[in-house]
Amino acid sequence: MHNVTVTIQKKSSVFHTLTLCVLHIACCMFLLPSADAARIKDIASIEGVRENQLIGYGLVVGLDRTGDSVVGGQFTAQAILSMLNSMGINLKVDPIQLLTKNTASVMVTAKLPPFARPGMKLDIQVSSLANAKSLKGGTLLLTPLKAPNQQVYAVAQGPISTSGFEAGASGTSVTKNQQSGGIIPSGAIVEKAVDLNIEQWKAFSLSIRHADFTTSLRVADAINTHFGSGVALPVSSGQVKVVMPKSFQGKIVQLIAAVEGLNVDVDVQAKVVVNERTGTIVMGEHVRLSSMAISHGSLTIKINTDFDVSQPEAPGLIGDGAGETVVTAESDTTVEEEGGRVIQIEQSVTLGDLVKALNFIGVSPRDLVAVLTAAKAAGALQADMEMI
């Protein structure tokens, strides 16, 4: 009896172990994100946490006579004179005399990231404002960068890097890209921070980048499932409000990081985007077609021209009434139309079936634009169509 009892205990232990393994695998499968899931970080942003645009007017010097010319560069000359006066060099001359084509007026732009602190360096874009041919080899002088409130948040200065070039000789030239603009990596230094005290936040809002009611509801459900009921509330198709739970009091950064890491199944509207210029067509997975028939045929017009020479039997002198050599053209025009095939498409066709059917009748990307436009006009295309 003792041996039998031990055997039963061993079997029970093995069964218990197998049960725990099955439960563990089931839990892991349940926690794994689906193939269509996306992080909240990738589909939404924190309201109020954004970049700020900066802009400034500056001068680029050190150009090899490729800067602003007299015609169109009057304000450049005035800017040079003002700069020299601010440095204690008082000149009583015509500002136009200072314009030697070695200087160019430029606009400097940059993006101030959120939570940027004084001393942080930014990349800047420099673009010619007047008629400078090239900024290659130039150096940007100290330029204050302002926000729309006219406050200075950064200053920029440094040598400009251009990606284009121009070469030529004997009246022939080759130009690659344009040289009237360039960049200065880490060319600006932040002087002032934007006030954004998130440590005092008791709640924050998520802005859905592609507003959708279903996606907004799923975001709120995912947050409430993870943190508890009542933490998230969908306000609209593009906004979800999140209230700080008790376990995260004073830990707003940890809360935002935890929320952004959650996975959500994103739902999007069925849409077909068409670019007629390039023949590019992009269709989402939710595009559906109702029952319809499609006929496609290509019309081809061929014009062949043959040239014949009419030569008289006996050559003669011009003016004596003799025949002259004449070139005559004979044109042969033919019209061909490929045998158009009619295919029937059943209702609720998927995107893959649509592509297979259109490839079967041999449509090109440009012909596909006409097919989809006609299907939309007939009410058979169950999606929005956007032309770009």
Domain ranges of the chain: 52-161+177-190, 197-265, 272-305+327-387
Residue 108's pLDDT is 97
What's residue 37's pLDDT? 82
209-210-214 Cα angle (round to 5): 120
Q: Name the strand (E) or helix (H) holding 228.
A: none
| Cα 278 from Cα 27, distance rounded (Å) | 48
At residue 164, the 3 state secondary structure works out as coil
Q: Which has the closest alpha carbon to 73: 160, 139, 125, 132?
A: 132
| Of 101, 109, 159, residue with least CA distance to 133 | 101
pLDDT at 8: 35
pTM of the entire predicted model: 0.66
Position 84, amino acid: L
pLDDT value for 199: 87
pLDDT, one tens digit for every residue, the chain (388 residues):
444 333 334 344 434 444 444 444 444 444 444 546 899 999 999 998 999 999 999 999 999 888 888 777 788 888 888 888 888 888 777 777 777 889 999 999 999 999 999 999 999 999 999 889 899 999 999 999 999 999 999 999 999 998 766 665 555 666 666 788 999 999 999 999 988 888 889 999 999 999 999 999 999 999 999 999 999 999 999 999 999 999 999 899 999 999 999 999 998 888 888 877 777 778 777 777 777 676 655 534 344 445 566 666 655 554 555 566 665 655 454 444 455 455 555 555 565 666 666 666 666 777 777 777 877 888 877 888 888 8
Burial letters 115-143, b for 16+ CB under 10 A, else e: ebeeebebebbbebbbbbbbbbebebbeb
Q: Residue 310: beta bridge partners?
A: 326
Q: Residue 78 carries which side chain, given as an amino acid letter?
A: Q
Q: Return the CATH fold of 197-265.
A: Gyrase A; domain 2 (3.30.1360)
Residue 38 tokens, joined = 């996306």
Q: In sequence order, what are the residues at sequence separation of 6 or more whose Cβ sits closer than 8 angstroms to the Cβ of residue 68?
A: 76, 99, 101, 103, 104, 105, 130, 131, 132
